[in-house]
DNA sequence: ACAATAGGTAGGCAGTTCCCTACCAGTCAA
DNA sequence: TTGACTGGTAGGGAACTGCCTACCTATTGT
């Protein structure tokens, strides 16, 4: 039924369901790998809380850490986002067809329907 | 098309962070609009719980309901999924480059490891 | 060795999620 | 109207989130 596993998909979507964590991903995307403190400086939040967000991202596979002296550099790992795009694929025709105004026609096709 | 605020994105990702709700979307995608009972038959869960899942999907804009007699037909609304795809776009180069083994090179490019 | 720095962990607390059982309202058929 | 059938709502409980402060280890400079 699933290649990645349902629990893994849950973790990725749940990790993305938080503005702070999406912002962390954006920072890593735009600035490259960052230590925790550099990330924490951008949020109105204590560092331990950000550490917990990083843990959620790590367990979802969205970031990796590399120790460098007393710092830990967090790096964006985009593979789970590629999985999200794959997951979206079968839905793509729905929003494309809807834009062309074919949605109502489609509604009647698989089931008895009217609009 | 919409005011894609942070709260709206939170709601969409949170709605997707649950296997039951993703399965509902898959059923609506594959079978077209469905009444609640037809959906509930596919889950090991009481109907009121599924009703709550449908409410979450509705508030995320991922489904719409249309009353038809004593039934309510739920239909897939893919627009928020298009928004998710848009959100993914800036990350796309990361997994493409990673596949080519350019990741480590890229890590050093945008930032000079300020430490 | 000592003090400072980087960052994870423990535990607490309020709010949310996800399931349940009861119950309520609207619609159709006899 | 009564009764069956649709599906949402109320309220409760266990588990999880997301924030905090306090504390711990590990590394580095003096």
pLDDT in tens, A68-83: 999 999 999 999 999 9
> Which is nearest to B106 in space by CA: A57, A33, A80, A66?
A33
Query: Which pLDDT does position A114 carry in this prediction?
Result: 34
Residue that wins the pLDDT comparison between B113 and A62? A62
Fold annotation for B6-108: Arc Repressor Mutant, subunit A (1.10.10)
pLDDT above 90 as % of chain A: 76
Q: Are B42 and A52 in contact (CB under 8 A)?
A: no
CA B66 / C1′ D1 distance in Å: 29
Whether the per-residue pLDDT at B47 is higher than 80: the answer is yes
Query: Which pLDDT does position B25 carry in this prediction?
Result: 98
Indicate the SS3 state at residue B113.
Answer: coil
pLDDT mean over B7-32: 97
Q: How many residues can be counted in chain B? A: 115
Whether the per-residue pLDDT at A101 is higher than 70: the answer is no
Query: Which pLDDT does position B100 carry in this prediction?
Result: 55
Please indicate if any CB of chain A lies within 8 Å of the CB of B86.
Answer: no
Query: Which pLDDT does position A99 carry in this prediction?
Result: 58
Closest-approach nucleotide to residue B46, Cα vs C1'? C20
Nearest CA in chain B to A86: B85
CB of A45 lies under 7 Å from some atom of strand D: yes
How deeply is B80 buried, as exposed, middle or buried, from its count of CB atoms within 10 A (0-12, 13-18, 19+)? Answer: buried
Residues in chain B with CB shorter than 8 Å from the CB of A8 are none
Query: Which pLDDT does position A100 carry in this prediction?
Result: 56
pLDDT mean over B65-83: 97
Query: Which pLDDT does position B78 carry in this prediction?
Result: 97
- Which residue of A84, A90, A92, A96 is the best one to mutate when testing the B interface, meaning the one whose CB has the most B CBs within 10 A? A84
> Which is nearest to B28 in space by CA: B76, B60, B62, B61?
B76
pLDDT above 90 as % of chain B: 77
CA A61 / C1′ D22 distance in Å: 30
Please indicate if any CB of chain A lies within 8 Å of the CB of B110.
Answer: yes
Task: For residue B7, give how far its alpha carbon lies from the nearest alpha carbon of chain A (Å).
Answer: 8
Domain ranges of chain B: 6-108
pLDDT mean over B46-73: 98
Query: Which pLDDT does position A98 carry in this prediction?
Result: 66
Whether the per-residue pLDDT at A104 is higher than 60: the answer is no
Residues in chain B with CB shorter than 8 Å from the CB of A81 are 88, 91, 94-95
- Which residue of B4, B14, B17 is the best one to mutate when testing the A interface, meaning the one whose CB has the most A CBs within 10 A? B17
CB of B55 lies under 7 Å from some atom of strand D: yes
CA distance B92 to A14: 20
CB of B49 lies under 7 Å from some atom of strand C: yes
pLDDT mean over B101-108: 50
Please indicate if any CB of chain A lies within 8 Å of the CB of B17.
Answer: yes
Fold annotation for A1-77: Arc Repressor Mutant, subunit A (1.10.10)
pLDDT mean over A40-60: 97
Question: CB within 8 A of B77, min separation 6: which ones?
Answer: B61, B62, B63, B64
């Amino acid at each position: 039924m699933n290649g990645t596993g349902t629990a893994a998909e849950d973790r990725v979507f749940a990790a993305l369901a938080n503005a702070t964590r999406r912002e962390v991903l954006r920072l890593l995307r735009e600035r490259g790998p960052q230590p925790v403190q550099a990330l924490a400086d951008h949020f109105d939040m204590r560092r331990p809380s950000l550490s917990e967000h990083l843990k959620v991202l790590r367990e979802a596979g969205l970031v990796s850490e590399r120790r460098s002296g007393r710092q830990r550099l967090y790096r964006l790992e985009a593979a789970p986002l590629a999985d999200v795009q794959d997951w979206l694929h079968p839905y793509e025709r729905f929003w494309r067809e809807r834009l062309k105004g074919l949605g109502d026609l489609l509604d009647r096709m698989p089931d008895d329907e009217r609009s």
